[in-house]
Chain A
Amino acid sequence: MSVELDVFVGNTTIMDKEVFQLWLNGYTVSDAVKVRIEGGIMEECEANAEVLLSDTMDQYRTFQMCERLLHHPAKLSNQLLFQIPPDRQAMLIERYYAFDDAFVREVLGKKLSKGTKKDLDDVSAKTGIMLKSCRRQFDNFKRVFKVVEELKGPLVENIQQHFLLPDQLGRDYAAIVFFASNRFETGKKKLQYLTFQDFAFCAGQLINHWTVGAVDNMMDDMDVDLDKEFLQDLKDLKILITDKDLLDQHKSLVCTALRGKTNVFNEMEANFKNLSRSLVNIAAKLINAKDVRDFFIDLVEKFIEPCRSDRWTSIDVNLYLTHYTNSAHILDTFKHHGVWTRYMGVIKSCILRIYH
């Protein structure tokens, strides 16, 4: 005796949030049933294992049928096959596009290529996230990337519009796309302490201030690429370290301002030239795509680590960077105020975010 066929179709498609999550997490039907049984649902609803299995299979089938629609969320709202209430649709999309921080840390900044996909089993083994789930998350990244890559206009809005994602998730995807297209290095050991949200914050800063779209919304180009002109202009900042006078003047201005306000003043004074050189060098190198990739590693190695070894608090860092930025404007011979502000604004907020 065996059930050969078992289907349930509602006029309104019934989708259980809990089972949907299990499906997203990559559980097989039988594992999902086990999880549900352990969750005590049988006692709650006077069900038996058979009922649970039938329900789980049915739900899984429904999700599989819906999956192709979830790939193009806009279709979900005007398709006719499933009648799903709007709030349910939003839930499905949000959960389908949700990702694990542990997973995204592994692939952030990597090329979203077949090669990377092949390595997902390693990622799965490392993070403990099921391969199926890894694949889904990876495919989501890739799909979003593909769609917005060629689109004009603001990245976050494009993503939100095409994938009907909630605000925060849209921003996160923008960060992922931005990292993937600029191939920022995030996997080095020294960067391991950074969370995805740290990077996402920095990506937001970069997108908002350093891309073409940041200056001019009407520009045809999109948010994904850094503003080449700006990167070119960054070279001009070198004067801050190459001109001895300027460097000294800058140092004395900063030190005057900082004196008495921090416990690590001596260290700040001693390290000023080193730190200033680092920051300006990072700026000057950004014109090379390869150095763009090393942006975060550079920030950590050249700025954060020295500060950390001198036991600066983040208040100290904030204080230092504020005065460092502002003092440059007082310098007589320094002309590149616009570029400096644009550069330092992002650098400061990024450093403050990742200084922990």
Chain B
Amino acid sequence: MPGKLKVKIVAGRHLPVMDRASDLTDAFVDVKFGNTTFKTDVYPKSLNPQWNSEWFKFEVDDEDLQDEPLQITVLDHDTYSANDAIGKVYIDIDPLLCSEAATVISGWLPIYDTIHGIRGEINVLVKVDFFNDLNRFRQSSCGVKFFCTTSIPRCYRAVMVHGFVEELVVNEDPEYQWIDRIRTPRASNEARQRLIFLMSGELQRKIGLKVLEMGGNAVVGYLQCFDLEGESGLVVRAIGTACTLEKISTLTSASATHPSNSSPSKDMKDSPQAAPSTLGCRSTHSSPVHSASGRLSQGFSVSVPTLLFAGMGSGGSAGKEAGPLKALLRQQTQSALEQREYPFFTLTSFPPGFLLHVGGVVSARSVKLLDRIHNPDEPETRDAWWEEIRQEIKSHAKALGCHAVLGYSESTSICEEVCILSASGTAAILGSRFVQDGPLDTDYRLSRQPLVFSTGAERVEGDMGSSASLGFEEVAPPGCGFCHIPYDELNIPFPAQLTYCYYCRRFKVPDVLFTTIDLPTEANVTGKGCLIQARLCRTKKKAQGEGNATAISNLLPFLEYELHTQLMNKLKLRGMNSLFGLRIQISVGETMLLGLASATGVYLTALPSPGRIQIAGKTPSDITYEQHISNMQKKINDTIAKNKELYEVNPPEVVEEMIGSPIPEPRQRSRLLRSHSESSDEVTELDLSHGKKDAFVLEIDDTDAVEDIHALLTDSPMPPGFYSCNTEIMPGIQNWTSAIQMFTSVRVFRLNNANLTNQGLNKIFSDLCENLLKSLYFKLRSMIPCCLCHLNFTVAVPEDELIQVAVTAVAMSFYKDQTLENGRQSGDKTLIKAITENDEQLQFNLELNAESSSSNPLSSTKGLSDVSGSHPSARAPPVDYSSFADRCSSWIEQLRLKAHTIRRGSVKTTSSLEKASPLPEGRSRSLQSNRSYSGSSVTVVKMTPLSFIPGAKITKYLGIINMFFIRETSSLREEGGVSGFLHTFIAEVFAMVRAHVAALGGNALVSYSMKECVFMENPNKNQAQSLINVSGDAVIFVRESELEATSVQPQSAATRETSNGGDGT
């Protein structure tokens, strides 16, 4: 009996009127866990009952603690007839099972009914007395921490990254059971909600077990999905990255306030070793492919002539054919990785030294026919499907000379009985530090040996240098290292043009780089990034069964190819050369296929500037035709020029002779770069670089090309003051204010005209997305200058002629005067690179040193850099702590005067968390006073899809929030039609998420995502139903200004952050 769950029901408020006669309610509460139920007394005739119950105690197994949700039902007592349910609250008690997460759940939680929505609130107290069971054969995995965040959580340090964990559980969908014909919609919805809660609990427990087996203590980048397969069942599956995390003690460690909190300690020796045996993560289902008998099970591969690599690999030995030393080094990490079945990582950003080289995007799709799941206890079929796909991904990665896949994710699209399974990731080569299981320090030392230099082999040197540590920056700057090709240049797995790295000039880089990960924090970027979307719609004939599946799998390669071409064109149109956070979603409907690819375009300094887009006609006979083409060409050229200006893409002019000398003196390079970025009037000269490359030719005779050009030119530019990206951070913007606004927007579009051409459909789909974006810009205009970060589009074809697009993102304001600083920043950065020594922890200090030593026209900057640099560190400039307070106030004074001219924050593109935001004192004060004045009883809970909160520091992770809700109505018109219905539902879901975060003691939900938003309607019957699944990490954050007040130690750059953000969440 390892756990005792204690529940106390305190009070209710805002209850609905259940008794029409008295306009009151006689409420009581049913508290259920597992099979045990307790009841409170009836609190008669009140809408605000005060039960103040005793502590209800449940003595349960820890297995049940993990699987079962606590179910609280509020009912209205009725003497003569059956008691009416008012609504329910499901509480996931998982956060209470981990010592480092929450300790109590206490607060007002909305009472939810699937038909009526939120009906009042209930105040509960939940605690767990937990006796940890060390039984080796246990089935529970209490204590394993789960994070949705796809990077190492901010107050932890990764000791070891173990690798991929996955699990799936299946069950029959209660909505499709025979009993559903006789029960009420409410009962059916509740059965479904409860089942999914149970299944998620079970799934989490099983994943936890695997993590323990691997010797880890946490899952990062936990991604759980539902496949509503209809008749054939319900699948809940999850993937994640098992890690061993160590908590960074908050105020004593300098690294806690370092911009890249995730940076691990140098001292690896004291890290606990992993369990000696790294068992494959899939120990349970070892049975091989288990194909649905007699059914079609068709995979497909497509090889597109660029970096989006989805073809079958050709042996995949490329990496090993390189120089012997390199091979040796690789083998070390590789062997570590090869012990694992899947060297996959769901993370998208990494601690320094983790990622060495990026190969490109790998993806695999497979079309399957769904079959009824006969035995829920044996989910082999679904398992086998995913296994196939993962194997394919693995072999693609190999073909790219890579031994790992990063930013890995899986998704499905289901239409009737056809299901497309997709997986994608970024093939990469990893550093040895986090992944190997052998004795760590030996390897570590080995890789740092100066022996590297004596080999003379250029490539080896680079690999060794960057893999060893950041200490050898002079050898391979981390700002470009990841761009260097991992595959053998003589054995390129796909057509690509290689050039020498434009940053270090020593290693080969591809001309374009596509990835699914976030932009590495240390990457050198020119200008800003922007969201790039490729949208495609293809008609399909209605078909059944295998025919349908075949038709779809025949269409897929073309779809993927075209999406890719579109992405490429749009990238070039913006004058950029790489894509990050690429996410391709393909959705099936009965009569069409939708493809949406989103990514953030970036100009990587290390990569060559993109070639020009040239339009060519096949038959240049007609003069008007020629004219037309040249017009178009001009338009395109103009757009490119305009875009370059907008995104400040003004790469440094290449000095040709540099190619001859492979190892330029770093200082010289940095000065060179600096001088370029400081002068912004060089944009016009840039076209020169186009001439040197093969232009990207679009042949206009091709109808597809016409379409492409059309699509290219119809993308309307963002209104001034707006930027957008789909990654965690926006390259080129750092100085965020604390105003953030997370939102979800959903649109459903009806195609009235059944027989549309592909082109027509395309246009409609593209317009739909564009208009949605335009609406967002308009809505959020008060936040200008602002960036829409982590823009996540989800498309679906809920019905024959419907297209649904859902967007979730966060709008974050930033301070305007940034543009002036860009030049300085890149200059600084390179300068720092040049002088930085081994200890990357000190980088922050150093750069500030650099800054204050560089000639700065502003007198106040000196003072500022002193504060920000005053980490407790030997290298920090001397600061007189006693006079700190005085200085503080005078700085604030100065800031108020010079807010526009002071360079703020660090130069790193990392977490903008630390970036200061000098809100004028007056305003922030008024905000604060406003808030304290009102005495509102509701905690403000911020929500963001990002892993951080600007201007604040996350001090504690309270646990994962993973909630699933169903809402149904049979009075659609009365509830404001479809829009009114969904609007209310989404608002209710947000409210419930916020309430649960607050009850855990948190004030924010980070890494929020809405993974499922299914909407079905039947206007004729006045009915609608919707399902929403949301998840994220509940955290406590502290404003940096507040930290400042409480801690004696001055924090970095936080002095100026004073707003409490009362105006945006």
Q: In the complex the two chains form, is A7's CB within 8 Å of B986's CB? A: yes
Q: In the complex the two chains form, is B745's CB within 8 Å of A8's CB? A: yes
Interfacial chain B residues near A78, Cβ < 8 Å: 13, 936-938
Interfacial chain A residues near B361, Cβ < 8 Å: none
Q: In the complex the two chains form, is B775's CB within 8 Å of A4's CB? A: no
Asked if B741 CB lies within 8 Å of chain A CBs, one says yes
- In the complex, which residue of chain A has the Cβ closest to the Cβ of B756? A1
Asked if B750 CB lies within 8 Å of chain A CBs, one says yes
Interfacial chain A residues near B804, Cβ < 8 Å: 5
Interfacial chain A residues near B984, Cβ < 8 Å: 65
Asked if A2 CB lies within 8 Å of chain B CBs, one says yes
Identify B1062's interface contact among A8, A64, A75, A86, CB under 8 A: A86
Q: In the complex the two chains form, is B1063's CB within 8 Å of A85's CB? A: yes
- In the complex, which residue of chain A has the Cβ closest to the Cβ of B751? A1
CA distance A307 to B779 in the complex (A): 59
Asked if A150 CB lies within 8 Å of chain B CBs, one says no
How many Cβ-Cβ contacts under 8 Å join chain A to chain B?
Answer: 159
* A86/B930 contact (C-beta < 8 A), A1-B764, A80-B108 known: yes
- In the complex, which residue of chain B has the Cβ closest to the Cβ of A64? B976
Asked if A81 CB lies within 8 Å of chain B CBs, one says yes
Q: In the complex the two chains form, is A11's CB within 8 Å of B1065's CB? A: yes
- In the complex, which residue of chain A has the Cβ closest to the Cβ of B930? A87
Q: In the complex the two chains form, is A48's CB within 8 Å of B747's CB? A: no
Q: In the complex the two chains form, is A1's CB within 8 Å of B938's CB? A: no
Interface residues of chain B: helix, strand, loop or mixed (majority): mixed
How near does chain B come to A5, taking the closest CB pair, in angstroms? 4
Interfacial chain B residues near A5, Cβ < 8 Å: 746-748, 804, 978-979, 982, 1015
Interfacial chain A residues near B750, Cβ < 8 Å: 1-4
Q: Which of B255-263, B655-663, B672-680, B989-997 contacts A (4 or more CB under 8 A)?
A: B989-997
Identify B779's interface contact among A4, A14, A82, CB under 8 A: A14
Interfacial chain B residues near A55, Cβ < 8 Å: 775, 778-779
Asked if B305 CB lies within 8 Å of chain A CBs, one says no
- Taking CB atoms and an 8 Å cut-off, the chain A residues in 47-65 that contact chain B are 47-48, 50-52, 54-55, 57-58, 61-62, 64-65
Asked if B184 CB lies within 8 Å of chain A CBs, one says no
Identify B778's interface contact among A7, A10, A52, A61, CB under 8 A: A52
CA distance A87 to B1060 in the complex (A): 14
Contact with B along A1-40 (1 / 0, CB 8 A): 1111111111111100000000000000000000000000
* A47/B121 contact (C-beta < 8 A), A79-B14, A83-B941, A86-B936 known: no
* A11/B943 contact (C-beta < 8 A), A1-B764, A3-B747 known: yes
Asked if A140 CB lies within 8 Å of chain B CBs, one says no
- Taking CB atoms and an 8 Å cut-off, the chain B residues in 690-735 that contact chain A are 719-720
Q: In the complex the two chains form, is A81's CB within 8 Å of B987's CB? A: yes
- In the complex, which residue of chain B has the Cβ closest to the Cβ of A88? B1063
- In the complex, which residue of chain B has the Cβ closest to the Cβ of A59? B779
Q: In the complex the two chains form, is A80's CB within 8 Å of B771's CB? A: no
Asked if B547 CB lies within 8 Å of chain A CBs, one says no
Asked if A89 CB lies within 8 Å of chain B CBs, one says yes
Q: In the complex the two chains form, is A9's CB within 8 Å of B749's CB? A: no
Asked if A45 CB lies within 8 Å of chain B CBs, one says yes
Q: In the complex the two chains form, is B937's CB within 8 Å of A9's CB? A: no
The count of residues in chain B whose C-beta lies closer than 8 Å to any C-beta of chain A is 64
Q: In the complex the two chains form, is B741's CB within 8 Å of A46's CB? A: no
Identify B983's interface contact among A9, A46, A80, A89, CB under 8 A: A9
Interfacial chain A residues near B8, Cβ < 8 Å: none
- In the complex, which residue of chain B has the Cβ closest to the Cβ of A14? B779
Q: In the complex the two chains form, is B991's CB within 8 Å of A80's CB? A: yes
- In the complex, which residue of chain B has the Cβ closest to the Cβ of A81? B991
How near does chain B come to A276, taking the closest CB pair, in angstroms? 51
Q: In the complex the two chains form, is A1's CB within 8 Å of B753's CB? A: yes
Interfacial chain B residues near A13, Cβ < 8 Å: 987
Q: In the complex the two chains form, is A12's CB within 8 Å of B774's CB? A: no
How near does chain A come to B33, taking the closest CB pair, in angstroms? 24
Interfacial chain B residues near A6, Cβ < 8 Å: 746-748, 979
Contact with A along B1-38 (1 / 0, CB 8 A): 00000000000011000000000000000000000000
Asked if B187 CB lies within 8 Å of chain A CBs, one says no
Contact with B along A81-99 (1 / 0, CB 8 A): 1110111011000000000
Asked if A77 CB lies within 8 Å of chain B CBs, one says yes
How near does chain A come to B550, taking the closest CB pair, in angstroms? 30
Identify A83's interface contact among B930, B934, B982, B994, CB under 8 A: B994
Interfacial chain A residues near B1065, Cβ < 8 Å: 11-12, 83
Interfacial chain B residues near A58, Cβ < 8 Å: 779, 979, 983
Contact with A along B773-800 (1 / 0, CB 8 A): 0111111110000000000000000000
How near does chain A come to B772, taking the closest CB pair, in angstroms? 9
Q: In the complex the two chains form, is B745's CB within 8 Å of A77's CB? A: no
Q: In the complex the two chains form, is A77's CB within 8 Å of B934's CB? A: yes
Interfacial chain A residues near B802, Cβ < 8 Å: 4
- In the complex, which residue of chain A has the Cβ closest to the Cβ of B716? A46
- Which of A7, A51, A86 counts the most chain B CB atoms within 10 A? A7
CA distance A50 to B778 in the complex (A): 11
CA distance A52 to B1063 in the complex (A): 23
Asked if B942 CB lies within 8 Å of chain A CBs, one says yes
CA distance A86 to B1061 in the complex (A): 12
- Taking CB atoms and an 8 Å cut-off, the chain B residues in 73-118 that contact chain A are 108, 110, 118
- In the complex, which residue of chain A has the Cβ closest to the Cβ of B1005? A11
Interfacial chain A residues near B980, Cβ < 8 Å: 61, 64-65
Interfacial chain B residues near A57, Cβ < 8 Å: 979
Interfacial chain B residues near A87, Cβ < 8 Å: 930, 1062-1063
CA distance A58 to B776 in the complex (A): 12
Identify A61's interface contact among B743, B983, B1015, CB under 8 A: B983
Q: In the complex the two chains form, is B983's CB within 8 Å of A65's CB? A: yes
Interfacial chain B residues near A45, Cβ < 8 Å: 719, 777-778, 781
Q: In the complex the two chains form, is A7's CB within 8 Å of B749's CB? A: no
Asked if B744 CB lies within 8 Å of chain A CBs, one says yes
How near does chain B come to A201, taking the closest CB pair, in angstroms? 29
- Taking CB atoms and an 8 Å cut-off, the chain B residues in 964-1011 that contact chain A are 976, 978-980, 982-984, 986-988, 990-992, 994-995
Interfacial chain A residues near B753, Cβ < 8 Å: 1
- In the complex, which residue of chain A has the Cβ closest to the Cβ of B743? A10
How near does chain A come to B776, taking the closest CB pair, in angstroms? 8
How near does chain A come to B108, taking the closest CB pair, in angstroms? 7
CA distance A81 to B992 in the complex (A): 8
CA distance A225 to B96 in the complex (A): 57
How near does chain B come to A136, taking the closest CB pair, in angstroms? 18
* A81/B118 contact (C-beta < 8 A), A61-B980, A86-B934 known: yes
- Which of A8, A13, A55 counts the most chain B CB atoms within 10 A? A8
Identify A9's interface contact among B744, B764, B776, B941, CB under 8 A: B744
Asked if B933 CB lies within 8 Å of chain A CBs, one says yes
CA distance A169 to B430 in the complex (A): 67
* A86/B931 contact (C-beta < 8 A), A7-B746, A50-B771, A51-B774 known: yes
- Taking CB atoms and an 8 Å cut-off, the chain B residues in 1045-1065 that contact chain A are 1062-1065
Not counting A6-B748, A11-B741, a sample of 14 additional A-B residue pairs whose C-beta atoms are within 8 angstroms of each other reads A1-B750, A2-B750, A5-B804, A10-B742, A46-B719, A46-B720, A47-B778, A65-B984, A80-B991, A81-B110, A81-B991, A85-B930, A86-B933, A86-B934
CB pairs A–B below 8 angstroms (19 shown): A5-B978, A5-B979, A7-B746, A7-B747, A7-B982, A7-B983, A8-B775, A8-B776, A11-B743, A12-B1063, A47-B774, A51-B775, A58-B979, A65-B976, A78-B936, A80-B995, A82-B991, A86-B931, A87-B1063
Q: Which residues of B contact A (CB under 8 A)?
A: 13-14, 108, 110, 118, 121, 719-720, 741-753, 764, 771, 774-781, 802, 804, 930-931, 933-934, 936-938, 940-943, 976, 978-980, 982-984, 986-988, 990-992, 994-995, 1015, 1062-1065
Closest CB pairs A-B (n = 6):
A86-B934, A5-B748, A10-B743, A9-B986, A12-B1065, A11-B742
